[in-house]
A and B are shown apart, each in its own frame.
Chain A
Amino acid sequence: MIQYLARRTLHAIILVAITLTISFAILHLAPGDPLVRFVGAGVDPADIERVRRSLGLDERLPVQYARWVGGVIRGDFGTSLAQNRPVRDMLADAVPRTILLTLLALGVQMSLGIWAGAAAARRRHARADRFLSFLTVALYAIPPFYLAYLLMTWLAIDRHWLPTSGIATPGLDAGGVAMLADRARHLLMPVLVLGVASAAGFARYARGSLIDALGEDFVRTARAKGLPEGTVVWRHAFRSSLGTLITVTGLSAPFLIGGAVIVETVFAWPGMGSLMVASIYARDYPVVLAVNMLGALFVIAGNLLADVGSAWADPRAGHPETGRE
């Protein structure tokens, strides 16, 4: 088990090194460097040269690479071109908001997905199963931004039940419970859209792994003992597929973070995703690179956490002979 986790951690560290390299490669995708596009665009060439020097873009590639890796390790992503302040400060505001949004959406995803998966697995091939299968495919196929607009039109514009967008009601000068309630009202729709959209894929996995578990011998034994069906499903089958489910949860991290870009843009939630899109329009490439790199770090961390969780939930996972590596 310890050995297994050590191996996974080493794997994660190697992955971080590779993603650092890929991120650096993106910066040099375009011919020349990222500042080439400003040449002749009404920008003083002397200014471009100054910015180029201040960003270290006049150095040789290996030096730039070493500086980039060293910077990320120290948590230093350079200076924003558009706002002339450290990228780290801009991230410090945005990242916690995105983490809050994605973690809450993860909660929605897991509860909805496991519930729907179990409901479908218990009635395999029955009408309810078919309906849920269709619903999950349809929810996956509806573009998340349209889902977001539909919900916004219905709950915020037609009914005025919820605020359309933003993070807090402007001018609201209240503390404590009132402020928390206001924050929750702003969070509700983004969390719901992101959670429901990612629950669609998760439900399919949950259904598959529960069907596998329900076919096992110990489930037949549990049923033969006369245990109620609810106990069989939740205490026996679900418990045994928990390891797989935790692994799959880790795999949904990229989807949640990518979806956050869309949801944050629609609901004007000032997180990493909004920052990324705004920075692309502002051609603020240090911020773009930093958000992209952070996204990868979150995914790697999420997968590592899922490995730990799945080893805890299912000791077979870390065992050299039964491991599913």
Chain B
Amino acid sequence: MKRTASGGGGKRALLGRSVSRVSVMGIVALCASVLLLVIRWDVWRELSALERTLTAGLVLLLIAAVVAGAGGQRKAASWRVRFDANPFAVGALAVLIAMVWMAVMAPLLVGVGPTELTSPSLTRYARPDLVHPMGTDRFGRDVWARVVYGGRASFGVCGLSVVLAALLGVVVGGVAGSAPRRVDDMLMRVVDGMLSFPRLLLLLAAVAFLPPGPVVLATIIAATSWMGVARIVRAEVRRMRGREFVEAAVAAGVGRARIVIHHILPNVMGHVVVAATLGAGTVILMESSLSFLGLGVQPPTPSWGSIVFEGRDALATAWWVSAFPALAITLAVISLNVIGDGIRDALDARIPSKR
């Protein structure tokens, strides 16, 4: 794979400014959002305040991505430029953004609801066609609508738990890395202990004792997936404690907590983002496994794992019911892995990628 430090292709230009591939993606998604809003204005007006906030938030995020992508072009050695030059990573990001976008825009994008029955007797287990691009399930519900809405549950639980896990990991790792030896030892033994449980068993045990619900689910998943980040942050904090800029801060009389938060953590965030992105793929799989076992997102709310489960009886006759949600899981997990690897390679320019 050819990669140059100044890659990123300065050839693409918009209104006289060179833009990155990520920016182009952001612009495309932004245009699609606006177009969808205009076409489906009547649907938008019916939406609840929460739905509108969610959609507006995504649009703002896309604008931010465009601005950030365009700004990154100025510094040639920036990691954003190197990320932009990696076609696999950019492609994976495009797939992921498209999937998240579809999940957020679900009500505008899909005409029927995920639990709506479409004249049952006629369209049970209908093959994929123009009306139902992914066919219908045993109740005559549109699988395409279910997969798009299922993305909301899957990405929502995943996003919330990844953020929570990263926060917890940073706090525990930061404390362990900067605290006295005894506290450090204690915290790391807890990490070792948590890592000794097979994660799915630990999740199942926690699910068994807590009331079901998406927020509880995300919290439980976060509670079983912060250990990797904690280890990374601790190791990095330990490593950086000997660096000159930290010693300079100590000499200047800056407090320990302030040193960690203001001087060390900003340098660790890259590792945290990589670990969180790679971990997000595992979280998607975990959530789908739990939903598949009937212990994750509860019906009638669709989630990819539970749609696969519902299609299991008809696998030989109606492959489409479970094939499409399984494909969605696979695509999301592959994308997250490739993006995570891409960010790591981009951040760590000196070490050539082993892949």
Contact = CB atoms under 8 A, between A and B. Distances in A.
Interface of A: 14-15, 18-19, 21-23, 26-27, 29-30, 34, 37, 133, 137-138, 140-146, 149-150, 152-153, 157-158, 208, 211, 253-255, 257-259, 261-262, 265, 276-277, 279-281, 283, 285, 288-289, 291-292, 295-296, 298-300, 303
B193 A140 contact: no
A279 B210 CA distance: 14
A77 to B, nearest CB: 13
B333 A140 contact: yes
B326 A146 contact: yes
Interface of B: 189-190, 192-202, 204-211, 281, 285, 288-289, 292-295, 305, 308-309, 312, 315-316, 322, 326, 329-331, 333-334, 337-338, 354-355
B330 A149 contact: no
A21 B194 CA distance: 10
Contacts of B305: 143, 145
Contact of A254 (B189, B198, B289, B309): B198
B199 A254 contact: yes
A261 B190 CA distance: 25
Nearest to B333: A141
A257 B201 contact: yes
A237 B207 CA distance: 45
The secondary structure that dominates the A interface is helix
Nearest to B286: A258
21 contacts: A14-B189, A22-B193, A22-B194, A26-B202, A29-B210, A34-B209, A141-B329, A143-B285, A143-B305, A211-B354, A254-B196, A257-B198, A258-B200, A261-B204, A277-B295, A288-B205, A288-B209, A291-B205, A292-B201, A292-B205, A298-B198
A261 B294 CA distance: 13
Central interface residue in B194, B204, B308, B309, by most chain A CB within 10 Å:
B204
A29 B206 contact: yes
5 tightest A-B CB contacts, nearest first? A18-B193, A258-B200, A141-B333, A146-B326, A254-B198
A143 B292 contact: yes
Contacts of B316: 153, 157-158
A142 B289 CA distance: 11
Given A18-B189, A26-B205, A261-B204, A299 B330 contact: no
B206 to A, nearest CB: 6
B199 A285 contact: no
Central interface residue in A142, A208, A255, A291, by most chain B CB within 10 Å:
A142
A150 B330 CA distance: 14
Central interface residue in B202, B205, B308, B355, by most chain A CB within 10 Å:
B205
Nearest to B341: A137
Contacts of B197: 19, 22, 254, 292, 295-296, 299
Contacts of A26: 202, 205-206, 209
A289 B326 contact: no
Given A22-B197, A157-B316, A300-B196, A143 B209 contact: no
The secondary structure that dominates the B interface is helix
A273 to B, nearest CB: 8
A219 to B, nearest CB: 17
B81 to A, nearest CB: 23
B315 A143 contact: no
A285 B209 contact: yes
Contacts of A257: 198, 201
B302 to A, nearest CB: 15
A143 B331 CA distance: 11
A149 B319 CA distance: 10
Contacts of A289: 205
Contacts of A255: 198
Contact of B292 (A150, A253, A258, A262): A262
A254 B197 CA distance: 7
A143 B288 contact: yes
Contacts of A37: 211
Given A254-B199, A285-B209, A299-B198, A153 B333 contact: no
A155 to B, nearest CB: 12
A89 to B, nearest CB: 20
Contacts of B199: 254, 258
A254 B355 CA distance: 25
A143 B330 contact: yes
Given A34-B209, A257-B201, A285-B208, A143 B193 contact: no
A21 B196 CA distance: 12
Contact of A27 (B209, B309, B315, B330): B209
A295 B189 contact: no
B330 A145 contact: no
A276 B193 contact: no
A208 B351 CA distance: 14
B293 A277 contact: yes
Contacts of B206: 26, 29
A149 B311 CA distance: 10
B204 A143 contact: no
Central interface residue in B196, B207, B354, by most chain A CB within 10 Å:
B196
Contacts of B205: 23, 26, 288-289, 291-292
Nearest to A251: B195
B83 to A, nearest CB: 18
B201 A261 contact: yes
Contacts of A277: 204, 293, 295
Contacts of A283: 208
B308 A145 contact: yes
A29 B315 CA distance: 38
Contacts of A253: 198
A19 B196 contact: yes
